[in-house]
Amino acid sequence: MRRDWKFYSQLGLTIVLCLFIVVPVVMSALAGVTVNVFQGLSSGLTFRWIIEVWDLYTASILLSLWIALVCLAVTLVTGVPLAYVLVRRPGRLTRLFEELLTLPVAIPGLALALALLITYGGVSGYRSSWLFILTGHVLFTLPFMVRSVAAVMSAMDMKMLEEGAASLGAGFWRRFFTVIVPNAKPGILAGALMVVTLSIGEFNLTWMLHTPLTKTLPVGLADAYASMRLEIGSAYTLIFFVLIMPLLIAMQTLADRGKRVSKRIETAEDTL
């Protein structure tokens, strides 16, 4: 196929846009391993800033990962059944509930945090616990899990699948866990990917809900950039990428594998 000037102009524009996005990330990563960011690479490379960040913010980093994993568990336990009910029992009440469910996404994170502070801020033990931040993260991320799972469930014929399983003697819970959930796996994995990434990177909501003892990774990153050397903040960013990228790649791989399995199942069903 002959490639004209339009193809090369689009390719050039794509490369420029990619560089515009990637170059700042690379520069920030290099700043985290540079002796002096203002002198550049000529000042030499060092792991001093990374070690210093790890010593100062280990608790914040581990707390963020823990909250993200617990948030994922809570949204899985609540989000998948909610999506099933919304798809299986459509009606005015379920549509109203779905709209209410998406309110935390529609309003600013600071407003949601303020609402939680007004409602539960007086509960001292709860207010000073990481569970308070977890509550905000669950409210913010649950709609993404429900929408992802519901989209996949809407695309499959759940009534036929359940009737087939029921004809073989399967009860409701067995049908749900052995028929519905496996077929909804691509949506569940996609929702899990969004929940984990949103929870780890959430700043606005967390900034208002955190205490000095419940500082998470994004809040610590903001503090590092505001109150310390630029190299410290850049090293913090580098650690963030090192921690999050393997998790994202692993979850994306699982999501792609789930899609391939679903396609093979659909092909086999069409053949039969």
Q: Is the pLDDT of residue 270 over 60?
A: no
Does domain 49-271 bear CATH number 1.10.3720.10?
yes
d(CA 87, CA 188): 15
Which is nearest to 68 in space by CA: 160, 136, 149? 136
Domain locations along the chain: 49-271
Tokens of 196: 């984990």
Q: Is the pLDDT of residue 67 over 90?
A: yes
d(CA 261, CA 188): 14
Predicted local confidence at residue 265, as pLDDT: 53
Q: Which of 91-100, 156-165, 170-179, 196-205 has the highest mean pLDDT?
A: 196-205
Q: Is the pLDDT of residue 261 over 60?
A: no
